[in-house]
Amino acid sequence: GENVEQHPSTLSVQEGDSAVIKCTYSDSASNYFPWYKQELGKRPQLIIDIRSNVGEKKDQRIAVTLNKTAKHFSLHITETQPEDSAVYFCAARLSGGYQKVTFGTGTKLQVIP
């Protein structure tokens, strides 16, 4: 099955700086890579996703890059704000029929004002 590793487990940045979270996956057949943000005690919410037919996707201050050859994908948050503080999860899904989504172990991001 798929295995997703996520780093770092914790990340502290100054407000206004950029934050980068990296994930690697094991199965080259994976074709869908969502990122979720979970604030303390709340539900995970999708913030951005990317499919294997593109290398980069941006949404305002958030971007995701995908390197299929190296089997890794990254989340980039620019101009960080205190409200970006949360736990971020990456995930990967194998292509073809129903395949479950495998989540990374999460990165706790703290943005220091």
Interacting residues with another protein (CB under 8 A): 6, 9, 31-34, 36, 42-46, 49, 51, 89, 93, 95-101, 103-106
Place of tokens 């703290």: 110
Beta strands at 19-25 and 45-51: parallel, antiparallel or unpaired: unpaired
Q: CB 46 → another protein: shortest distance, Å?
A: 4
Q: CB 31 → another protein: shortest distance, Å?
A: 7
Q: CB 113 → another protein: shortest distance, Å?
A: 26
Which of residues 80 and 88 has its CB atom nearest to another protein in the complex?
88
19: Cβ contacts below 8 Å, ≥ 6 apart? 11, 13, 76, 77, 80, 84, 109, 111
Which of residues 63 and 101 has its CB atom nearest to another protein in the complex?
101
Token output for 9: 């487990």
Q: CB 66 → another protein: shortest distance, Å?
A: 13
- Whether residue 34 is preceded by a cis peptide bond, meaning omega within 30 degrees of 0, is no
User: How far is the C-alpha of 32 from the C-alpha of 108, rounded, in Å?
Assistant: 23
Which of residues 18 and 67 has its CB atom nearest to another protein in the complex?
67
Which of residues 85 and 107 has its CB atom nearest to another protein in the complex?
107
